[in-house]
A and B are shown apart, each in its own frame.
Chain A
Amino acid sequence: MLFLQILANGLVLGGLYACIAAGFSLVWGVLNVINILHGSFIVLGGYLAFFGYTQYGIHPFVSIAIAAPLFFALGYVLQRTLINRMIAAPVLLTLTLTFGLDLMLANGMLAAFTADFRKLILDPPLGILRLGALVLPIDRIIAMLLALGLTGLLYLTLSRSRMGRAIVAVRMDREAAALMGVNVKHVYALTFGLGALMAGASGPLLAMIFPISPLTGPVYLGKAFVICVLGGLGSVPGAMIGGITLGIVESFGSLWFGPEHATTLSFVLLIAILLMRPEGLLGRKGYA
């Protein structure tokens, strides 16, 4: 029974992880930029939900709808004004650039919100669901479903909408897409905006479950890395599989090796996968 409980916990965690990683993977795959800001965006989204709830009584699930357009705009502007200039630069420079931006954002949050860990506590709580011997907090289940829903929406946007097809086209062949009349700079900025949106929207979901602090940004970033490598780059289903895998691995890892080793375990997994299958578990070489 313990096995089933741990598996359920892992699945809940995995759904959230998929949502964290989908936007990060999109930006990495299309722009070939590792967005170090991603973790801090998630934390900022968490603060939005926290203050929205404590100050104005806006339910965290509602603040997702507020966070989404805000973060999309933030990402679009950031890409259009700063990162687009460096898009063709070597890996090292784009990495260093987003790292510098992240230092600014993280320090800004530290100055504004202090390093205290805050917890968003719903009043009244949503209670728990009992399925036989399984115990599942309802807020977690809803958060997971919303996370999976958001990830699914991203998938639909990429596969169905005109904007999404343009993004995929640019990812496949930038020059050819430009020749077909796609405005590449605009598409890059849209992509970065979508990545930021996914981060900002998963913030409130994570705030329901984990404490919020500016110090947790790098933790989420690390998870996004691992998931991208696990699932393969730049595909939403890859992020989904990678996220759920990591969630399950972490849950069972905490059980067997102790919770303090969960992070180490996931990073060791990351290095092992990188060495054995650099294209990821699902990934194909080249473009997906």
Chain B
Amino acid sequence: MKRALLIGVLLSGVLALVPLTNDAYWLRLGTTMLMYGVLALSWNFIGGMAGYPSFAVAAFLGLGAYTGAVAQKFGLPMGWAWVAAGLSALLFATLLGAALLRLRGHYFAIASLVVAEVLRELVNSATELTGGGMGLNLPVPSMISVQAQASFFFYAMLALVLLTFVATVITTHSRLGFGLRCIQQNEAAADMLGVNTTAFKIAAFALSGVFVGIAGAIYASWVHYIEPPDVFDVLYSVKAIVMVLLGGAGSVFGPLLGAAAFLTLEELVWRKFLEVHTGVLGLLIVLLVMFLPRGVLSITQLWKRPKDHRA
């Protein structure tokens, strides 16, 4: 546990040097990567540890973005707006989890998928509060240079990803993490052996919501303008899943690795195939699922024979 935390802190120390390059492109890419890291680590709580196929990431992201934006519209300072976004996502995930986590398999997946659609429609129609389909402009932070703003949001996202990472490490080594892994393997047996499965699953779902909510609010402040189809995009949910699959589900560093690998792929695809980039993304997803369902690190195992044949 100490070693994982140490590596995490060292890694963020190295990443903290990125703004020194003073290159807008790398800063934008870096901030996106850190946001993807938050999404992947967050999904890992419910999807990787507990094994529940959640598609709710987009719902939490959009909720956080709109909570942050509306809070700022009413005069809350940016920092507090982010906190408010985290709290609203936490509360929403807890209530939603209490209702939805009774479902399993496809039913849970679809119910969690639909939540983003419902929220998007609601935000779309609440025009006075959210601007509806016209979207919502956010106040530009008081920093003078564009460069300083870019660095500021990079560091904000970096701090958030570190926070999410620490939460992941602590959870993994706690009773909660142990219980979630039991639920993944056999929920009925875990329940019988005294794991409070309902409370554990809700805790995992809440953890998977809160950081994404904050990330949504930071994202909204970063891009200054949000609209419902942008932040409630179901692709965010799918991307989070693909990142974790890429990196290896259930592990501590896997989601981060997956986020970095996915962003690299996405950036290459974006640049080379602007017109058909979602199609190529789809092809990547298909190839990944077909050939590397256990993540990129499992690529070595394609050639290696298992040492222990009894296993």
Q: Show the binding face of A for B, using Cβ within 8 Å.
A: 28, 32, 34, 82, 85-86, 89-93, 95-97, 99-108, 111, 218, 222, 225, 229, 260-261, 263-264, 267-268, 270-271, 274-275, 278
Q: Chain A's nearest CB lies how many Å from the CB of B49?
A: 13
The interface residues of chain A lying within 8 Å CB-to-CB of B296 are: none
With known contacts A91-B105, A111-B275, A225-B110, A96–B238 Cβ distance under 8 A: yes
The interface residues of chain B lying within 8 Å CB-to-CB of A93 are: 245, 289, 293
B264 on interface, CB distance cutoff 8 Å: no
Which residue of chain A has its CB nearest to the CB of B285? Answer: A100
B284 on interface, CB distance cutoff 8 Å: yes
The interface residues of chain A lying within 8 Å CB-to-CB of B117 are: 222, 263-264, 267
- A73 and B266 CA atoms in complex are apart in Å by 32
- A93 and B242 CA atoms in complex are apart in Å by 10
A96 touches B241 (CB 8 A): yes
B111 on interface, CB distance cutoff 8 Å: yes
A91 touches B242 (CB 8 A): no
B103 touches A101 (CB 8 A): no
The interface residues of chain A lying within 8 Å CB-to-CB of B279 are: 103-104, 106-108, 111
Pick from B122, B289, B293: contact of A100, CB below 8 A. B289
Q: Show the binding face of B for A, using Cβ within 8 Å.
A: 47, 51, 53, 99-100, 102-103, 105-107, 109-111, 114-115, 117-118, 121-122, 124-125, 234, 238, 241-242, 245, 275-279, 281-286, 288-290, 293
Which residue of chain B has its CB nearest to the CB of A85? Answer: B290
B282 touches A102 (CB 8 A): yes
A92 touches B285 (CB 8 A): no
B293 touches A89 (CB 8 A): yes
Q: Chain B's nearest CB lies how many Å from the CB of A147?
A: 24
- A110 and B283 CA atoms in complex are apart in Å by 16
B242 touches A222 (CB 8 A): no
Which residue of chain B has its CB nearest to the CB of A99? Answer: B238
The interface residues of chain B lying within 8 Å CB-to-CB of A91 are: 53, 105-106, 109
Pick from B102, B106, B278, B284: contact of A107, CB below 8 A. B278
- A91 and B242 CA atoms in complex are apart in Å by 14
- A270 and B51 CA atoms in complex are apart in Å by 23
A111 touches B106 (CB 8 A): no
B109 touches A34 (CB 8 A): yes
A92 touches B109 (CB 8 A): yes
The interface residues of chain B lying within 8 Å CB-to-CB of A104 are: 279, 282-283, 286
Q: Chain B's nearest CB lies how many Å from the CB of A272?
A: 10
B contacts with A: majority SS: helix
Q: Chain A's nearest CB lies how many Å from the CB of B47?
A: 7
- A59 and B132 CA atoms in complex are apart in Å by 40
Which residue of chain B has its CB nearest to the CB of A263? Answer: B121
Q: A93-B245, A103-B281, A108-B276 are in contact. List 9 more A-B contacts (CB 8 A).
A: A93-B293, A95-B53, A96-B245, A107-B277, A107-B278, A267-B118, A270-B114, A274-B103, A274-B111
Q: Chain B's nearest CB lies how many Å from the CB of A24?
A: 12
With known contacts A28-B106, A85-B290, A103–B278 Cβ distance under 8 A: yes
Which residue of chain A has its CB nearest to the CB of B102? Answer: A275
The interface residues of chain A lying within 8 Å CB-to-CB of B118 are: 264, 267-268, 271
- A268 and B285 CA atoms in complex are apart in Å by 30
Which residue of chain A has its CB nearest to the CB of B238? Answer: A99
- A4 and B125 CA atoms in complex are apart in Å by 29
B109 touches A278 (CB 8 A): no
CB-defined A-B contacts under 8 Å, sample of 28: A34-B110, A89-B289, A90-B51, A91-B53, A91-B106, A96-B241, A96-B245, A96-B285, A97-B286, A99-B238, A99-B282, A100-B285, A100-B289, A101-B286, A102-B282, A104-B279, A106-B278, A107-B279, A111-B276, A111-B279, A260-B125, A267-B121, A270-B111, A271-B115, A271-B118, A274-B103, A275-B103, A278-B102
Q: Chain A's nearest CB lies how many Å from the CB of B153?
A: 29
B114 touches A267 (CB 8 A): yes
Q: Chain A's nearest CB lies how many Å from the CB of B234?
A: 8
Q: Chain A's nearest CB lies how many Å from the CB of B177?
A: 20
The interface residues of chain B lying within 8 Å CB-to-CB of A99 are: 238, 282, 285
A82 touches B103 (CB 8 A): no
Q: Chain A's nearest CB lies how many Å from the CB of B108?
A: 9
- Counting chain B CB atoms within 10 Å of each CB, the highest count among A92, A261, A274 belongs to A92
Q: Chain B's nearest CB lies how many Å from the CB of A68?
A: 26
Q: Chain B's nearest CB lies how many Å from the CB of A215?
A: 10
A92 touches B47 (CB 8 A): yes
- Counting chain A CB atoms within 10 Å of each CB, the highest count among B99, B276, B278, B284 belongs to B278
Pick from A92, A218, A222, A275: contact of B53, CB below 8 A. A92
- A135 and B103 CA atoms in complex are apart in Å by 43
Which residue of chain B has its CB nearest to the CB of A33? Answer: B106
The interface residues of chain A lying within 8 Å CB-to-CB of B109 are: 34, 91-92, 95
The interface residues of chain A lying within 8 Å CB-to-CB of B276 are: 107-108, 111
Pick from A34, A261, A271: contact of B106, CB below 8 A. A34
A96 touches B289 (CB 8 A): yes
The interface residues of chain B lying within 8 Å CB-to-CB of A271 are: 99-100, 111, 114-115, 118
